[in-house]
Structure 1
């Protein structure tokens, strides 16, 4: 009988395990919470709910964005309308007259800054027709600055934003 325990130890060393009791080791999916996942139908329905929620959130964000932009635009129009007299149409501001045209020469034309047009980025060549801004002295090709000032939307130097026209001399205040 001394051999029986020794043989049992030998079986465990070689990886043979004794078979467990059938009633002690049984577990079902209902009792085993770590069992295999078998709810593929649940996954699809959960994914559909998540996608629907994300799409609804996106639609809500886009609608909110559109509403805020509409209200801001309406508010700006309201402020402009209150500042203007509704009975009288707005008087367009007169276009700033372009500076006098000159024929460019490297030796004789005095310009503030580089000898190139900041609008088209081309260097001036002797014989080009240029216009020099009276306030700041920046020079531009005549056709470039005329297009820049056309329409009355812009009335400043493209380089430094100084007024295109020299300010009118204010009359001296009577004392």
Structure 2
């Protein structure tokens, strides 16, 4: 009887440890996902196409003075149908063909010099499960050269 109660108690403790470990792992994964989505390191900019707002009725002076996004690189307003990119760090807009070469060479905004996060390598959701050191260990070829 005493041996059975010790065995059932140890099973209860073992099950409790497993359940607590799963809960802690899920909570940690959820918090990392929340931080990851809040920081959005993979999202450097948003691409959009310029569209003019159309209003019903007569045109007014306000409609003609409607401001469109302005590209500070080529110094031109965006025309309807052009692709623009809005940097998520500072919300400045540029033509896609103007900002892409800039972002290939630099990681700052051309206007305010705000630091733009680098593109993550591969699938950014892998960073949720594995810490950055482990990912770099396998991607830099440390183990690949040993094989």
Provide the TM-score with structure 1 as the length reference: 0.32
Structure with greater helix percent: 2
Higher RCO (CA < 8 A, seq sep 6+): 2
Structure with greater strand percent: 2
Larger Rg: 1
Provide the TM-score with structure 2 as the length reference: 0.38
